[in-house]
Amino acid sequence: MVTVASLGASVVFAGVFDLPKPAPPDRYGTVLIDRIAGAGDSKAVVFSHWRHRARYSCRVCHFELDFQLEVNATEITEEDNRNGLFCGACHDGREAFSVADNAQCARCHTGKIESDKAAYKKFAKGLPEAPYGNQVDWVRASEILNPKYSLQREEEPISFDKELSLDARWFNIPPAVFSHEVHGRFLDCANCHPDVFNIKQKTTEHFEMRFILEKAFCGACHLSIAFPLDDCMRCHPGMRANK
């Protein structure tokens, strides 16, 4: 019997969900920060996730430095940066080039999303490959790159390896599997709980693909930054056995 799962993920979702078209690997995860800069005299800021996640965990920016997960949801001013907040926490002239150095402004204030394909190709060479997103398997790559988990050097990931099996509501779609251990390498518990997911299993309402595609739940990261939703089998591994 032909089942939904046996048709393969790409066939199932192509006719049901309007998945966003991902950017090319060198620009995947690159965002334009223009909440304030783009509205004033300065050009909007381009931010490349692949350049930064090679050196720091997502937790550094989205927990310790208090950047919201949604682009442009955080109000970032030049004064804040010069006082060591947000970008200024690292761009201080010691960890990275200084936000106070006016000669460096054009490196970020480009006003458009762009990338250096040659630099990206050089960066990605030798890293574990993946079929989607940056075409880098960041879970495996993190073991090679060893990004800083915290700006506070004594911080380490919480040891919590519980794996969840989340039943799908569609007939014959295998469960999604969620690894706390893997996500804990990159994020803090507070990034997901309680605002994104209820801390009690199976109590998060409306946890469905249609809402994920609206940037809720997993979609907060897995639409344009973490591997995209095109890679269905990364979350629904049972599809591999049925395709």
Q: Is the per-residue pLDDT at 68 higher than 50? A: yes
Six token digits for residue 199: 């801390």
Q: Is the per-residue pLDDT at 11 higher than 60? A: no
**pLDDT averaged over the chain?**
89
Q: Is the per-residue pLDDT at 49 higher than 70? A: yes
Domain borders along the chain are 5-22+139-147+155-242, 30-121
E-only strand ranges, the chain: 30-33, 45-48, 163-166, 176-179
**Averaged pLDDT for residues 104-129:** 94
For residue 148, which of 106, 188, 203, 186 has the smallest C-alpha distance? 186
What CATH number does the domain located at 5-22+139-147+155-242 have?
A: 3.90.10.10
Q: What is the CB neighbour count within 10 angstroms for residue 205?
A: 7
Percent of residues, the chain, with pLDDT higher than 90: 70
**Averaged pLDDT for residues 233-237:** 91
**What are 223-234's pLDDT values in tens digits?**
999 999 888 889
Q: What's the topology of domain 30-121?
A: Cytochrome C3 (3.90.10)
Question: pTM of the full predicted structure?
Answer: 0.87
- From CA 136, how far away is CA 131, in angstroms rounded? 8
Q: Is the per-residue pLDDT at 41 higher than 70? A: yes
Q: Is the per-residue pLDDT at 97 higher than 70? A: yes
- On whether the CB atoms of residues 215 and 228 are closer than 8 A, the answer is no
Q: Does 5-22+139-147+155-242 match 30-121 in CATH topology?
A: yes
Six token digits for residue 146: 């060893």
- On whether the CB atoms of residues 174 and 165 are closer than 8 A, the answer is no
Side chain identity, residue 64: E
**What are 133-188's pLDDT values in tens digits?**
999 999 999 999 999 999 987 888 888 999 999 988 887 889 999 999 999 999 99
- From CA 21, how far away is CA 30, in angstroms rounded? 14
What pLDDT does residue 235 have? 93
CA angle in degrees (0–180, nearest 5) for 189-29-170 = 65
